[in-house]
Amino acid sequence: MDDDLPPDLERLRTLETWAALYLQRIRQRIAAVERQEAQPQPPPAPTAAPRPPGGARRARTPDWGLAEAGIGIPTTTVHRGDCWAQGKTLVPTSAERARAELADGAQACEVCRPDRVLLRRS
């Protein structure tokens, strides 16, 4: 005998009734799912990315960016888009423009080192 079942007949009958009712619910759910799967499904509609909490959409993190020269920044600096040292004025840019800026004398960020990736020879 199994140790997890009660020893008396009254509780065993109660468990039997519960199991029969639960099995009935499971069979009803199986039948409903089978009916649903038998129906032709329309193609899924394209969905937009879910909005983050708070309602405002967050801009996609750029791959590369430029911190233009200005107060406290003596020269244009090239950053990776996810660099924590980029500041608030990062201008998103393409890899080609970032390479051109580095070739024209822009400084590579000393934290994220975009020059190691952008100027690598393949």
Q: Give pLDDT tens digits for 30-56.
A: 999 999 989 887 777 777 666 666 666
Look at residue 74 in the predicted model and tell me its pLDDT.
Answer: 67
Query: At 12, phi and psi to the nearest 5?
Result: -65, -40
pLDDT in tens, 69-121: 666 666 788 888 888 877 677 888 888 888 888 888 888 888 888 888 887 76
pTM exceeds 0.85: no
pLDDT in tens, 10-32: 999 999 999 999 999 999 999 99
Look at residue 63 in the predicted model and tell me its pLDDT.
Answer: 82
The DSSP bridge pattern shows strands 90-93 and 64-67 to be antiparallel
d(CA 98, CA 103): 9
Look at residue 25 in the predicted model and tell me its pLDDT.
Answer: 95
pLDDT more than 90, % of the chain: 25
Burial class (CB in 10 A: 0-12, 13-18, 19+), 64: buried
